[in-house]
Amino acid sequence: MRWEQGANARPAVMEKNVTQEYLSLRERTQARDRSLRDKVMTLEEACDFVADGEHVSLGGSTASRTPFAMVWALIRARKKNLSFSRSIVSTEGDLIFASGIGNHILTSWFSQGIVWGVSRVMRHFTENRLARFEEWSHMSIGLRFRAGAMGVPFMPMRSMMGSDVAGQLDNLEEMTCPFTGEKILLVPALNPDVALIHVQRCDPYGNAQLDGLTFMDIDMAMAANRVIITTERIISNDQIRRRPDQTRIPFFTVDAVVEAPYGCAPHECFGVYEPLFSHMDYYAELTRKEPMQGVKTYLDEYCYAPKSWTEYLNLIGLDKLLDAARRGRSIYDD
């Protein structure tokens, strides 16, 4: 039976339990300083909020609002044994595996983007069992964050049953609904140690405003035990109070605020810049034939060599950034 066949396929890397016992989850939240206070710091300082071995959730999806600057900083800080989750993982997943900061990514889809084909770097690490790509359906990841945000241990859902995606996972339960008698699947809450989320605007206290697609970021922020916000710009708390309806993440969930202009580059930030397609083409070409050599070259050139995020952007090139910004802002031109 396919289900059994899948269930026998044990992961190469041990499952990390990211569902937390309720009272200890609450205690961790209660122990946080939830006062209205200035949390502005540098990328390097924000790295202190991520400890080796922790579970880190990444906001955005595929090549959109990826917290690239913060992932870049964690790689430079030579973090170890991190595990990650994200709705859909793009090139940041390649860099996480290749830099060695993490060998376990929970996601629904993993490659730069369909037009660039299957990631050769992801293939190298997963096919050689050097790292684990733990595959869940897209909605199940969303509901896991939602359960985490709600403070409940699981959510019921109707997809994944009967598939080998479910058969590969050991922290799932089927149950018979006590009200209708229907078969239903339960997925466990996901409360990450840290969430990294990039936004368009945030005040010094962590009141974050998002434009466009919110992906799973709001539930992720509420579910996490710590949140690092990187932002295109820092605005005043007075600005926030003029349009509180635009605030999507409240300050008391946030632990660090970092101003990182073009903080998603080479990915997109809604309404500010589109993906830097030519840079993404360059990366795909670099890793096509010799994936490991290619990604190592890329890490050396773009992650380790620059002295600062500004220098990284300089390496990418002003022409590419301006072109991406022109395309990004153009949605407000119609």
Partner 1 sequence: MTIETKDFTASELLCVMSARALEDGQVVFAGVGIPLLAATLAQRLHAPGVTILFEGGTIGPHVVPGQLPPTTNEQRCTRKANMLVSITEVLLLLQRGYVDVGFMGGAQIDQYGNLNSSFIGSADDPSVRLPGTGGGNDISSLTRMIVAMPQEKRRFVENVDFITSPGYIRGGTSRRDSGLIAGGMYRVVTDLAILGFDEETGRMRVEALHPGVTPEKVQENTGFELIMDSSVGTTELPTEEELAALRHLDPDKIYTA
Nearest CA-CA partner of 80 in 116, 51, 109, 40: 51
- Which CB, 203 or 219, lies closer to partner 1? 219
Min dist CB 180 to partner 1, Å, is 10
User: According to CB under 8 A, which residues from 49 to 78 bind partner 1?
Assistant: 60-64
Is residue 271 within the footprint of partner 1 (CB under 8 A)?
yes
Binding-residue pattern over the window 112 to 151 for partner 1, x denoting contact by CB under 8 A: -xxxx-xx--xx--xx-----x-x-xxxx-xx-xx-----
Total Cβ atoms within 10 A of residue 189: 23
**Residues 147 to 176: which contact partner 1 by CB under 8 A?**
157-165, 168, 174
Of 105-113, 198-206, 235-243, 308-316, which segment contacts partner 1 by CB under 8 A? 105-113
Nearer to partner 1, 31 or 115 (CB): 115
Q: What is the DSSP string of 165-227?
A: HHHT-SS-EEEE-TTT--EEEEEE----SEEEEEEEEE-TT--EE--S--TTHHHHHHH-SSE
Q: How far is the CB of 315 from partner 1 (least distance, A)?
A: 23
Convert 122-140 into a string of H (helix), E (strand) and C (coil): HHHHHHCCCCEEEECCHHH
Q: Which is nearer to partner 1, 70 or 172 (CB)?
A: 172
Nearer to partner 1, 20 or 108 (CB): 108
**Vertex 218: Cα angle to 310 and 146 (nearest 5):** 135
- At closest approach, how far in Å is the CB of 20 from partner 1? 20
Q: How many CA atoms lie within 13 A of 279 on its CB side?
A: 24
C-beta of 139 vs 235, nearer to partner 1:
139
Q: Is 44 helix (H, G, I), strand (E, B) or coil?
A: helix
Residues contacting 152, CB < 8 A, separation 6+: 189
Six token digits for residue 245: 């309806």
The pairing of beta strand 256-259 with beta strand 227-234: parallel
- By rule CB under 8 A, what count of residues binds partner 1? 67
Phi first, then psi, for residue 208 (nearest 5°) are -110, 135
Q: How far is the CB of 255 from partner 1 (least distance, A)?
A: 22
Give the residue with the Cβ less far from partner 1, 163 or 297: 163
d(CA 17, CA 330): 43
Using the rule CB under 8 A, which residue among 58, 88, 260, 284 binds partner 1?
88
* Positions in 177-236 near partner 1 (CB under 8 A): 182-185, 212-219
Considering just the CA atoms, what is the radius of gyration of the chain in Å? 20
Which residue ranges make up the site for partner 1 (CB under 8 A)?
Answer: 2, 6, 8-9, 60-64, 87-88, 107-111, 113-116, 118-119, 122-123, 126-127, 133, 135, 137-140, 142-143, 145-146, 157-165, 168, 174, 182-185, 212-219, 268, 270-271, 274-275, 277, 328, 331
